[in-house]
Amino acid sequence: MPPAWRHPPAEPEPPTSPAAGETASSGGQPLVWHKTGGPLGGLGYDVRMRPDHPDLMYVTDNWTGVNVSTDGGRTWGASNRGIATRSGPSGDAIPIFSLTIDPHNPDVIWAGTEGVRGIFKSTDGGRTWVSRNDGVVESHGITFRGFTVHPRDPDTVYAAAEISSWVWAGEGRQGREFDLTRGVVYKTVDGGGHWEAVWRGDNLARYIWIDPRRPEVIYVSTGIFDREAANSDPAGNRPGGVGVIKSTDGGRTWEVLGRDHGLQNMFIGSLFMHPGNPDILLAGAGNNAYRSGSGAYLSTDGGRTWQQTLASGAMPITAVEFSTCDPLIAYAAGDHEFYSSADGGYTWYRTAGGKKQGPWGPPGVRAGVPIDFQVDPRDPYRIFVNNYGGGNFLSEDGGRTWTVSSQGYTGAQLHSIVVDPREPGRVYTIGRSGIFRGIAGGESWEGLNYPPATYAEWYTLALDPAEPDHILAADEHQGVLLETKDGGRQWQEVFRHPEVNAGDFNRRHGFAAIAFAPSNPRVVYAGMRRERRNIDEGRADPSFGVYKSIDGGATWRAANDANTAGRNINILQVHPGRDEIVYAATVRGGVLQTTDGGRTWQPRNQGLDGLDVRALAIDPQDPAVLYAGLPGYGIYKSADGGASWRRSGNGIDPQSEIQAIVIDPADPRTVYAGDLFGGVYRSTDAGGQWVRINVGLRTRAVKALAVAADGSALYAATVGEGVFRLDLP
């Protein structure tokens, strides 16, 4: 059967005229955003090759949905027509997690959503989708982790899923680090017309395998690296879990294959059946909260006994797979190391990654957590990996070397963005997947995560205005500041807070704010904050306030008094002409100001309706003018250096969550604001009136903004769609 298409599917084009409430350029033409397609990132999940045409490929992502390649993974395009489910802060994310191609008819594809009820079926190779949810009783709090089609009956399909504690317990129940989840397996016998649950248990269900010789024999793996089991006991440090379950009667009854059968870790995030002998199963085990027993396990007797053939230490093995064309070749990996086997999974060799080399992946890229493999059915040494937190990557030498295979596909969750003052087309951004540099206005991207800059989560970065190749960057969990003097090729750690411990879930902090003094870049300020989850969940436990360097970032000391010592700092802004005057936007303390270089700080909150300030900007030509953004309140303006504030919200949605404010350096009366819920606003009268400028902006979840020094372009860093560029008249 021929492929469903020969060219990448087209997504609907953005409007060619401004929507209601949006603005046009001075020439009467709409301001239209351009999606750059980068940098790498997202919450990737499954990767699949069409069996009759392996160059037609699919990857799924929790932000951008289904992405399709027709050229063997070189380029990608989204294909979500008919998928109506949306999520994310702005309601624009397309949360597709799992995807399976029907082996009977590769034009039939099943896909499932994350966090909300959503099973979708395509009968035209993924070009269009229809909902098939009837019988699924959970409307929210359900995540579909995998699908499997019966080997003899295409109308019989199994769906593996996770149930949030908000559903099964009626309240959120937190484990040591993650939600305590239960699982369910649904089954349809009429091609998705109706589903019924055939198993419910104490951990999420991930992979389902059916013995092709005896289809009544079914295996299900349970658990994953970043969810905890409902039967875990975090207070007693007991991991719980289920392991692998097996049915010999088509799902009517189930047997647990767990610790008594040889599994030493019950979180089985990956399972693969030998293509020639279905009694041989390869499993990947481990959980970030419970790492003991992590590794690869092999069973040769249908799961009755398991042998740990790869002990990966503290690193969970999150993906395993046999080559279907040469089953002696097998692969296993976690977030730092990649392994291969040449004897069917009995012995393993590390092919990439490790302590000396840093995490596996292409140079400069921290690939993330490998969540799914696809070994090319034509070549056992050609492997695609879709990563949770990184992107899609290709190896053609059995996992030794890697290249990026994600052009056009990004779900990057970004936190900060800056433009090189010398070159308006050179832009730097940072987010969950690392540090990146874009050239030609973001048309191409380069990873800058060279050791030691290989951490898993990141907060912010700042360029030295006098020497832009001198960059400071900070991660989210380690409490470190890193420095490069060559634009990101070589990094060194210049500060590590002694009270931060990333391995302790209650002691994770990072520097969320870094600011060079424009008048004297030898002076730099940095503000610490708890990890994002602590802030987003409303806890905002104390952090460590503000630090200062007077030698360009080489050394640091605290710059606090009682007002800042325990504060969570969101943003720092330094007076353009006086390096001793600094404003700090805090989580619960509002705006604080120092006029003596950080020795003392005073509140500057008169007129503000809230004390959680997420955005702050100073007019570079008139430093008495400041703008502040507050979640749920909008934008405020001060004309007296912060002594008093008044609302500047005409045109701003009152439920907005302003995360970024930037002022056009070429025309300070032009101000831009980024709203996590509603996109980008523009004011051309110094905050008097605001209008949305969202034409072409595929997601309105804008986290950070940066404007080129010459005013030629505005860049938006988003949560889930990477970077967008707006070329300005």
pLDDT at 615: 98
d(CA 485, CA 379): 42
Read off the pLDDT of residues 541-566 as tens digits, 9 standing for 90 and up.
Answer: 999 999 999 999 999 999 999 999 99
Residue 98, pLDDT above cutoff 60:
yes
Q: Which has the closest alpha carbon to 692: 18, 93, 17?
A: 18
Flag whether 594 is in a domain.
no
Q: What DSSP line would sit under 253-318, residue for residue?
A: S-EEESGGGT-S---EEEEEE-SS-TT-EEEEE--SS--TT-EEEEESSTTSS-EEEEE-TTS---
Q: Pick the range with the lowest mean pLDDT from 253-267, 525-539, 609-623.
A: 525-539
pLDDT at 505: 83
Residue 27: pLDDT band (50, 70, 90) is low
pLDDT at 378: 97
pLDDT at 4: 45
Q: % helix / strand / coil in the chain, to the nearest 5?
A: 0, 40, 55
Residue 649: pLDDT band (50, 70, 90) is confident
Cα 642 to Cα 313, 403, 562: the distances in Å are: 53, 49, 20
Cβ burial, residue 25 (10 Å; 0-12/13-18/19+): middle
Read off the pLDDT of residues 365-397 as tens digits, 9 standing for 90 and up.
Answer: 999 999 999 999 999 999 999 999 879 999 999
Flag whether 618 is in a domain.
no
Flag whether 292 is in a domain.
yes
Read off the pLDDT of residues 311-362 as tens digits, 9 standing for 90 and up.
Answer: 999 999 999 999 999 999 999 999 999 999 999 999 999 999 988 788 999 9
Flag whether 535 is in a domain.
no
d(CA 277, CA 290): 32
d(CA 435, CA 719): 15
For the whole model, what pTM was predicted? 0.94
Residue 19, pLDDT above cutoff 90:
no
Burial call 433-445: b when 16+ CB within 10 Å, e when fewer: bbbbbbeebbeeb
Flag whether 253 is in a domain.
yes
Assign residue 154 the CATH number of its domain: 2.130.10.10
Structural tokens at position 723 = 């970077």
Q: Which domain holds residue 133?
A: 60-404
Structural tokens at position 11 = 């997504």
Read off the pLDDT of residues 576-623 as tens digits, 9 standing for 90 and up.
Answer: 999 999 999 999 999 999 999 999 999 999 999 999 999 999 999 999
Residue 22, pLDDT above cutoff 90:
no
Residue 10, pLDDT above cutoff 50:
no
Read off the pLDDT of residues 443-492 as tens digits, 9 standing for 90 and up.
Answer: 999 999 999 999 989 999 999 999 999 999 999 999 999 999 999 999 99
Rounded average pLDDT over 688-697: 97
Residue 535: pLDDT band (50, 70, 90) is confident
Rounded average pLDDT over 82-90: 96
Flag whether 105 is in a domain.
yes
Residue 28: pLDDT band (50, 70, 90) is low
Residue 721, pLDDT above cutoff 70:
yes
Residue 691, pLDDT above cutoff 70:
yes
Flag whether 549 is in a domain.
no
Residue 189: how many other CB atoms lie within 10 Å? 15
Residue 1, pLDDT above cutoff 70:
no
Verify cis geometry, omega within 30 degrees of 0, for the bond prior to 39: yes
Residue 537: pLDDT band (50, 70, 90) is confident
Q: Which has the closest alpha carbon to 116: 81, 149, 91, 153?
A: 91
Structural tokens at position 502 = 């990333």
Spatial contact of 112 and 206, defined as CB atoms under 8 Å apart: no
d(CA 390, CA 368): 5
Structural tokens at position 390 = 């990184």
Structural tokens at position 181 = 């989840």
Total domains present in the chain: 1
Read off the pLDDT of residues 157-203 as tens digits, 9 standing for 90 and up.
Answer: 999 999 999 999 999 999 999 999 999 999 999 999 999 999 999 99
**Whole-number mean pLDDT of the chain?**
94
Flag whether 561 is in a domain.
no
